[in-house]
Amino acid sequence: MKKTIVFAFPILLATAFSTSSAFTLKGNVTDESGSPISGALVKLLVKGDSTQTDKDGKFTFHEEEVSLPSSNFKPGHISISDGVLHFAQSTGSPVQVSIFDAMGNQVLRQELLGSGQVDLRQGVSSQGTYFAKVRVGSAIETVRFTANGSQFNEAIQKDRGHKALLKPGNGDSLRVIASGFDTLKTAIPNLDTTVTLKLKKASSVNPGEQTYAFGYALKNAPTPSKGCGKDNTLKDNFVYTSEGIEHEVYLTLPENYDKNKPYRLVFGMHYMGGSAKNVATRESYYGFRNQPGAKENTIFVAPHGYTDEKDPRTSETKSNPWRCYDDKDHIFFDELLTHLNENLCVDTSRVFSIGFSFGAMFSNALAQDFQHRLRGVVVFSTMDMVIYMPKNKGLPIAWMGTVGMSDELCTPELGRSSRDRILKNNGIPDAEGNFTDARGEKAEEYAGDKHVCYDYKTVDPRFPVKWCTFDGGHSYNPREDGKVWTTETAWEFITQF
């Protein structure tokens, strides 16, 4: 006998959107004096689309009209009538219902199983316009409604997520990030329009400090995040939900954490068979937290990425350390970094990602499309295969990699391919400010007893590249003279900025 699941919440419901309207959004990004800003990262936060401004500071988003028939919700049935959501699932996949206020803050998240109905009442705390997003598998339907201000049921708000500026419908919200400028977030009520966006120079930039169209000066002043000045409310271990997937996150703050001091932030990405917990506890973030000054001056975070996903080639479901077939982990990283910036005092100009094996592959993949948010990455045994690899944005990033010469998993050849992908973008800019190809440059070489490192010093000095090889196999912590030289060398690499 089927059970009817009823949650009581009082709302007046409007019509669900079934199509995505065509639009062309054009824009121009300038500084306060009107000078164009090139290379700025512009992102539509609801749609998830992103682009960069050209040399004239211009950008364009364009989308044709797409029909979203109700058949997208198969398997199962979803309907909304008179404020009641009816659902019938033929599989064990949950129906995910999220409610957001007009500013895009999530006020409720509920997963529904089986068959039943949800009366949309008492889901919000005050009168006003709200949006409900209903997800079944990969299909999403959005409805807009007006609440009448009935009593809010606190018990069903326990699982609160974090989605900044989410505004479904014909509008969206833009986020613009450019080095040396404060991040801009603004609502766009109508996407079929042209906008001019002015960025303010970051208040932390020292007078006389050189600024660039992309990237920071060496030894630049810290750029404090929005979380500076706030009391920390984050736990050492918490769950962050992104794209319907729950991720465990381990957080290690500096000793005597000061809410007014911007700290370096280092992500530790786990390998296959590992976990966020192991990286944070047993391995002390690959030994980085044991380096001189790390416990006092660095925030460390270890996110967990294991998830089941379907191989599009074979339709076989696999459990991978990090997603191999889509960008959901990249969306997760983007959202988690924003969440940390808004709740902790982070130096947003000194954010790094480190990892070994699969964790290195994920960090290396992030280096392809997060050059605006990551200062650099350190990858112990990496390659460009297996993991989801986004299209490279063509921007430079500081990069260090190591490999064992007898590594049969992530071979030296595969590691060099990753290094060369980075070198292609890291050459000294030409007269027009475009970064040049540095793959033909000869590195400075220096050797230890069992390892050799190569420094590509003729790249743009703000975006150094280091490549180290050693006698050994698949490892991030080979020892030489009783020391783990890889971690020591990598710590020197990320603290040079």
Question: Which are the contacts of 48, defined by CB distance < 8 A and separation ≥ 6?
Answer: 331
160 pLDDT higher than 80? no
How does pLDDT run across 337-357, given as a tens digit for each residue? 999 999 999 999 999 999 999
Model confidence band, residue 6 (pLDDT cutoffs 50, 70, 90): very low
Count of beta carbons in the 10 Å neighbourhood of residue 337: 23
Most confident of 101-105, 158-162, 198-202, 464-468: 464-468
69 pLDDT higher than 80? no
Region 150-163: what's the mean pLDDT? 36
Q: What is the DSSP letter of 221?
A: P
How does pLDDT run across 226-239, given as a tens digit for each residue? 899 999 999 999 99
Query: How does strand 8-9 pair with strand 115-120?
Result: parallel
216 pLDDT higher than 70? yes
68 pLDDT higher than 50? no
Our separate counts of H helices and E strands in the chain read 6, 32
Question: For domain 1-201, which architecture applies?
Answer: Sandwich (2.60)
Proportion of the chain above pLDDT 70, given as a percent: 75
- Output the pLDDT for position 119: 57
Question: 357, 353, 360: which is closest to 473 by C-alpha?
Answer: 357
Count of beta carbons in the 10 Å neighbourhood of residue 2: 8
Q: What is the DSSP letter of 434?
A: -
Proportion of the chain above pLDDT 90, given as a percent: 53
- Output the pLDDT for position 117: 65
Task: Tell me the Cα Rg of the chain.
Answer: 24
More confident site: 144 or 6: 144
Q: What is the DSSP letter of 224?
A: B
Query: How does strand 237-242 pair with strand 245-252?
Result: antiparallel
Which residues in 23-70 belong to E strands, given as ranges?
23-31, 41-44, 50-52, 58-63, 66-67
**CATH code for the part of the protein at 237-494:** 3.40.50.1820
Provide the 3-class DSSP secondary structure of residue 290. helix
Q: Mean pLDDT, the chain, as a whole number? A: 82
- Output the pLDDT for position 25: 93
Question: 25, 23, 27: which is closest to 36 by C-alpha?
Answer: 27
What is the rounded distance in angstroms from the CA atom of residue 216 to the CA atom of residue 419?
22
Q: How far does the chain reach from its first CA to its final CA, in angstroms? A: 64
165 pLDDT higher than 70? no
How does pLDDT run across 366-377, given as a tens digit for each residue? 999 999 999 999
**3-class secondary structure per residue, 166-182:** CCCCCCEEEEEECCCEC
What is the rounded distance in angstroms from the CA atom of residue 198 to the CA atom of residue 491?
37
Whole-model pTM over 0.95: no
Specify whether the CB–CB gap between 488 and 494 falls below 8 A. Answer: no
Q: What is the dihedral of CA 393, 399, 404, 408, to 10 degrees?
A: -10
Count of beta carbons in the 10 Å neighbourhood of residue 1: 2
Most confident of 70-74, 165-169, 208-212, 460-464: 460-464
Amino acid at 172: D
Model confidence band, residue 47 (pLDDT cutoffs 50, 70, 90): confident
Q: What is the dihedral of CA 189, 191, 192, 196, to 10 degrees?
A: 80
Find residue 260's DSSP bridge partners.
none
Provide the 3-class DSSP secondary structure of residue 267. strand
More confident site: 351 or 123: 351
Specify whether the CB–CB gap between 379 and 355 falls below 8 A. Answer: yes
Question: 292, 305, 416, 313: which is closest to 363 by C-alpha?
Answer: 305
424 pLDDT higher than 90? yes
Region 27-35: what's the mean pLDDT? 92
Backbone angles phi, psi at 247, to 5 degrees: -120, 130
Specify whether the CB–CB gap between 477 and 486 falls below 8 A. Answer: yes
Backbone angles phi, psi at 166, to 5 degrees: -85, 115
468 pLDDT higher than 80? yes
CATH 2.60.40.10 occupies which residues in the chain? 1-201
Model confidence band, residue 201 (pLDDT cutoffs 50, 70, 90): confident
DSSP string across 326-375: SSHHHHHHHHHHHHHHHHS-EEEEEEEEEEETHHHHHHHHHHHH-TTT-S
29 pLDDT higher than 90? yes
17 pLDDT higher than 50? no
Find residue 454's DSSP bridge partners.
445, 467
Measured on CA atoms in the order 117, 123, 128, 132, is the torsion positive or negative?
A: negative
CATH 3.40.50.1820 occupies which residues in the chain? 237-494
Model confidence band, residue 74 (pLDDT cutoffs 50, 70, 90): very low
